[in-house]
Amino acid sequence: MATSLPKTMKGVWIEENGGVEVLQYKTDIPVPELKEGEVLVKNEFVGINYIDTYFRKGLYELPHTPYILGREGSGTVAALGPNCPSDLSVNKRVVYMGQYAYAEYTPVASKYVTPIPDSISTKLAAAAVLQALTAVTLIREAHAVQKGDWILVTAAAGGVGLWLCQLLKAVGARTIATASTEEKRELAKKNGAEITLGYEEENRDDFTKKVLEITGGEGVAAVFDSVGKVTFDASLACVKRKGTMVSFGNASGAVTGFALGRLAAKNVKIVRPTLFNYIFTREEYQQYADELWKFIEKDGLNVQIHDVYPLKDIVRATQDIEGRKTTGKLLLQP
């Protein structure tokens, strides 16, 4: 069953890799047709994630062109393809992860569409789903964080970063947070970080020294590093013997050419995870989504929304996140 659907919709697509100039706002994109097991979501809020910039620039390969960027959103079910789960119905409020989110309507594999609990707003759901689930899976699976662990978080005032600060506090870990400005560091502290440090080039050796001092010379149980290329070495130097280096992002460029033998110095484990491989099945997705809603409801975790941009202002929104001007979550409204 479907609500009456228009033939065309607004959306943002790219026809080639490049700078922000390749982002094209269109008003005549055909509304997608559904395949077996897909749900069509009418987006109310769409989340911007740093990964969108990797697809645009070509660091991650585009599956086809033209391509509609965007990997998460929330809204209502507009139509259901054959064989969708019975907990999904037309007009139900849902949140999802997938592809093609920078648009009015998005087709999504039903295993990644989940009803939004009554206590959670449609806006909060879109602002949380990808970045908060990333943070939950990182602290549970990439390194199973224990109460009392010292943990280092880079880009701690960013979208994923602020969730990590809050979650780590909620599970009793002690967070050392890095961010590029005093204002960002203050925000990380308000979200649960115990200690904050600058990590611009001139501070980088200094931050390793300080982390070792703070942890009594031992180092941290784990680093959650999303900056990649420019922080990798300094972050690795902060990990304690038998600790974990979790490299989960490339904001400054990809880490390449790592010599495995370096891990032997402290028997460090290294992980390069992606969220989608932790929530591959519907059961895994639902398990982590339920855990996230519980953290929000019981521990009062919340999201800092940097701004809600109209979809047509996608260039400004993208420039803001790439220009390191933002804290917390950026949302689009179609």
In the complex, the residues that contact ligand NDP under the rule CB under 6 A are 49-51, 130-131, 134, 155, 157-161, 179-180, 184, 226-227, 248-252, 273-275, 321-322, 324, 326
Decide whether 45 or 105 has the Cβ nearer to ligand NDP.
Answer: 45
Decide whether 128 or 311 has the Cβ nearer to ligand NDP.
Answer: 128
Is-contact 75 44, C-beta < 8 A?
yes
Exposure string for 257-282, b = 16+ CB within 10 A, e = fewer:
eeeeeeeeeeebeeeebebbebbeee
- Closest residue by beta carbon to ligand NDP: 158
Q: Which two tokens stand for residue 326?
A: 């933002």
Torsion of CA 276, 51, 198, 208, to 10 degrees: 50
Minimum CB distance to ligand NDP, residue 322 (Å):
6
Report the Cα 317 to chain-centroid distance in Å: 16
Residue 2 DSSP class = B
- The enclosing H or E element of 240 equals strand 239-247
Decide whether 157 or 211 has the Cβ nearer to ligand NDP.
Answer: 157
Minimum CB distance to ligand NDP, residue 66 (Å):
23
For 72, counting Cβ atoms within 10 Å of its Cβ (0-12 exposed, 13-18 middle, 19+ buried), the class is buried
Minimum CB distance to ligand NDP, residue 327 (Å):
7
Minimum CB distance to ligand NDP, residue 126 (Å):
13
Decide whether 117 or 273 has the Cβ nearer to ligand NDP.
Answer: 273
- Alpha carbons 79 and 82: distance in angstroms, whole number: 10
Minimum CB distance to ligand NDP, residue 160 (Å):
4
- The set of residues, in sequence order, having a beta carbon less than 8 Å from that of 250 and lying 6+ positions away, is 54, 59, 226, 228, 229
Decide whether 90 or 315 has the Cβ nearer to ligand NDP.
Answer: 315
Is-contact 259 240, C-beta < 8 A?
no
Minimum CB distance to ligand NDP, residue 246 (Å):
9
Decide whether 9 or 153 has the Cβ nearer to ligand NDP.
Answer: 153
User: What SS3 state is found at 245?
Assistant: strand
